[in-house]
Structure 1
């Protein structure tokens, strides 16, 4: 049957001639295809658009008039539409005319169903948008092929649009984007997008964020998409893979942590070093003066350590320092107590919230634990390694001039502990001596004898 004698599906005989007159002289090309996608009826406008007569078009598919690459691209999209049995609009596509020139059409269509509910085909229109269409197709190509993942998410959490990079990100390269629910596939991200919708509704800027998905780290930047009435209908989201940068930052953080470890700890014993000890002592003195609570320090020194080094060698001396440090740390100290290597064979123990009596008790336990190691030392009166300890306390009832620098108070406290340590050495070593409560002299420290 000739094209002008066939009637579009679903039309009655009434006014059919008038209808054909409208269709054949319209600016848009009207057509129908069957369930296999082959043209069963086309208006005569096709000759103006493609240069083919209706009889040359009937029985062919739309993809027969497209360049191969375009036919593959549009065919995949149209296959998704047919599978969903839904209407569509704004499908931009390139077509090759009979004279070889390219024309860009915008296609829209609706599904046609038989009495049994089965899909019988599609009825639609094509409009020539060559002037604008080439630009649209170029933008679509850029959007689809850019290595950065791009997508649009509607308010229901449906992935309305996505490029190839986005589908690879989601690991759904074979599944139509329109069938994906972000709220289901990426529930953690969806909760953030819901917050972004709220911000967009209020007219506020949406901040960027970093998210982790399938062991990759992404920088995301959502931008609100509005309709003609300025209502927010979706979010256009850019996903930039920053996994390498994140890994590099983590390596840098780990390196900084190691450097900080070196900067704050003694390389031989692993205890806090003198620099960190100064910081901790200043901090604890600040708390003491603010909260009116006592603070004590214990300055411990290994007895006759030079003789120990000369007798057993410096390697044994280093092992001895490490053993003493480990023993001091394991002497049932509290979590906020601080043990540091003050220098050489001296160790400082900072005891927050501790008065003189409590500090002496702790110091005696430290001394006993070192003696219990039973490390042979011929210069010691006991025949074993021992330590002497000086104790000093900053009491809560002591007043300090408001203009006195904290580091001066810290220096004075250690000076009193050093003076008590000197006394312990002079009294025979292997003992604990506490500085008197009223001992506030600022005389130079006495270097303790070995």
Structure 2
């Protein structure tokens, strides 16, 4: 069998098993020998939630301020539902074809150009995400560590973000990223989710600690004319800044590059079990996102910062709980980097090595190269809101909406006028419109306010 013959067999150790059109979704994707060593459903849920939830949670309160409570809730529900549906389409294609990689689906649909396109998109998206997270660590970690120490300390090595970035990369990111299987990250992913949950709880608790209107002597020039009208929550808001909302949400719900690797390592990997993992992960992430965005907005209203935690610095300086939650978020971001590194490395290996067997040399070299590139890019990452907007409107919307729909229309076995095909077409149209409009508005806003 040639390495490109994806549609009739699937490899499980040294065994091959045919998958035809009558393949039952309760039938394991892989042979029992591999499934017995697979990750548990709980571990897979934590890994997928860790892939979903990251630094995007810091920008959602800002998105709510620019769309309104009801507008934001509708958009968040829409994006999360479409994310779950696009994963459903990917899993159906895997079930029908036996292909277990995003790049493989691109090859199946459009041969080598499709494979290169998907791999390049995954690489750009994940390298951009890792660079963004590294930038957050570089800019926030020194201040967070200093806040726990004596205010008089200065000139210490830990106040240099570049030193800290290099240290955490070598001591934490590299050892986790170089692991051969993504399932090994289940424990760190559960810890990262607990950190995110802690963040949501603190946002709720602190919503009663900051008065509104905020006293002028505490605003540090962030607010000029305080009034009771500014403490009235808005249900619907439409402005040029609203263009950042959907891209930020798309960036926040993008987990598609990690779905298939998690699927492959799932214990008894069936479409039904993986869909359960997806539904649980997206539902829990939706709740945490909505709660943190709502109470973050109800704390600062129109004065909410594009990175929520920055707002608390001005109004609750040296608050122990805020300092603790900032450290928790940074640790969650740190533990997310190895998880999104896996699909990026896989994309590199798929482009340059194809479907060859595992090699520690290639695995290690690609890991070191990617981390080196990300470390260099972290120095030049612009404002976090701009990163979310640009990445979300381009690569995120492609991976989240466009590619699953296109691949399903091209490869899927359902007739063109079926409900699934109509849903796939709608997904493509929605992704293209959202991506183009958001990108255009963001570029125009940059031109007006350089």
Q: Please confirm whether the aligned pair reaches a TM-score higher than 0.5, indicating the same fold.
A: no
Structure having the higher Rg: 1
Give TM class, smaller chain: under 0.3
Richer in helix (by share):
2
Scaled by the length of structure 2, the TM-score of the pair is 0.20
Richer in strand (by share):
1
Which structure exhibits the higher relative contact order, with contacts defined as CA atoms closer than 8 Å and separated by 6 or more residues? 2
